Structure 1
Amino acid sequence: MPKAGRYREGVPCWVVLTTPDAASAQRFYGALFDWEFVPTGPAESVATRYGAQVAAVGQAPDRARSAAWTTHLACADLHRTTALVRAADGRIVREPYEVPDQGRAALAVDPLGAAFGLWQAGTIEGAGLVDEPGALAWNEHLSPDPDTARAFYRRVFGYTYDWPKAGHTLARAAGHLACSIGPSAAGADPTDPTATRARWLAQFGTTDTDRAADRLRDLGGTVLTGPEPTPYGRAALVRDDADAVFVLVSVPSHESAEAA
């Protein structure tokens, strides 16, 4: 992922967890990733690691029974981007709104039903720490129809694509790696018959995926698949104690590399 300060149009820049119990989520992720939390509103907070912002946690509406991670894509002009989403057959489910002292956001759904956020930077461009243990490492879009997904995000953000293998593509925004797009079976929860629906899937870095997966189980989470080797590092598809699905993936620690 690009570092903070280099978020191009269409690049995932931020992730937000909505959960029925924000206090419980803080305990879970604090223990899993060593996150600390800075309150930003009633039942809302920003998670930090080494003082850098890495994610947000907020209380879900009363009717919601499970949690979910939402990937936010950077945009320079929120109103222009929401118009492009609609023109490409997507929907805006929350119109642009102000996030005090940080920026502006909107929530959208693509033609396949995958929810995502839009973020227009103010004082906050996005995650201040990425590609490190305990921070966002990658995002992927999974669906039963990757071709439709590729066409939609090309129209909205101008994505171009590299074609590695097995139906997966690497998407680039203005030449910069943004995310991957592929078939939903690759990231499906075998215990959930709805898991092949379209979605964005956030991946968080860890120094040791097996140890992190064990820790997640101890905290009440569930390991759905893996840990297993992937081209990008040893990974596990997991679910937190409120049913939010994400990926643990091993990444090199920059501190460890410098020490070596």
Structure 2
Amino acid sequence: MAENSTSAGEAAYPEGVPCWVDAQLADVAAGKRFYGELFGWSFQSSYGGSVWACREGEPVAALGQKADGRLPTVWTVYFATPDAEVLTRRIRASGGQVITTPLPVGELGVAALATDPEGAVFGLWQPGTHPGFGLRHAPGAFVWAELYARDTAAANDFYGDLFHEALFGPDATPDFGRAPLAGAFPAEMPPHFLVHFGVEDCDAALAEVSRLGGRVQAGPFDTSYGTVGVASDGQGASFAVLQR
């Protein structure tokens, strides 16, 4: 395990902490080949035909089959909550929208999808038997989520109200940043979350993305939290790699 990695499978995450990510793909088998080679993931079957990706034997992400080909091919970050019903009511009251009301995922937990007032999509996860990441902050695992927003001050207000302790409390160790949607982004790009996975060498990871049939969109470039490259897999799901 990497020196700064976190093995986190032993307890539920505090509310507002990114605790899980998944990708909805048209071709899950192709996704397994791409991400398996890129991040060294192994896979095991999970609920409803989805698969869990594992690193060092611990779950780090899920790949799911898109139910409708018209749905976007995306990575989604899920924030932990002890009560998804209560949190969805707070999201609506704060100007967000609920796309999918809280639904049980077998015994694993309860999931919901929502948007902030600018339309950026995120998930909620109320744990049952599955608390979330078994490993994070390590190569091949989740390390960061960046929200690209048109109005970062409004985003800070919205998420700061929802997840104040996770973002600003005395024990806060945020894995979630906010940045303006400007510069390299096309004008039509909507506000969105970008999931970051850890790598030991950003240049090498981006070269591997190209070799595997993905596309490098930007980078490497330096940020306050490390060296980042933005890419998409062969099916169009965007993600970032982060070297710290």
Give a deviation string over 1:79-112, Cα, whole Å, max 9, x none.
1101101111111111111112311111111110
SS of the aligned residue for 1:28 comes to helix
CA distance in 1, matches of 2:103, 2:79: 15
Aligned residues with identical type, % of pairs = 37
Equivalent residue, structure 1, for 2:46? 40
Equivalent residue, structure 1, for 2:140? 134
* Cα distance change of structure 1 residues 243 and 208 upon mapping to structure 2, 3 Å threshold: same
CA contact (8 A) 1:157 1:173 kept: no
After TM superposition, list the pairs within 5 Å mapping 1:230-249 onto structure 2.
230-249=223-242
Q: Report whether the alignment pairs 1:182 with 2:176.
A: no
What TM-score does the superposition give when structure 1 sets the normalisation length?
Answer: 0.85
Deviation at 1:7, TM superposition (A): 2.1
CA distance in 2, matches of 1:63, 1:221: 20
Structure 1, gaps ≥5 residues long: 161-170, 252-260
Equivalent residue, structure 1, for 2:168? 172
* Cα distance change of structure 1 residues 41 and 7 upon mapping to structure 2, 3 Å threshold: closer
Q: Report whether the alignment pairs 1:55 with 2:61.
A: yes
CA distance in 2, matches of 1:175, 1:183: 26
After TM superposition, list the pairs within 5 Å mapping 1:197-236 onto structure 2.
197-236=190-229
Deviation at 1:172, TM superposition (A): 3.2
SS of the aligned residue for 1:86 comes to helix
Equivalent residue, structure 1, for 2:188? 194
Give a deviation string over 1:123-152, Cα, whole Å, max 9, x none.
211111111100001111111111111111
CA contact (8 A) 2:41 2:53 kept: yes
Deviation at 1:25, TM superposition (A): 0.8
Deviation at 1:207, TM superposition (A): 0.6
CA distance in 1, matches of 2:218, 2:62: 25
What TM-score does the superposition give when structure 2 sets the normalisation length?
Answer: 0.90
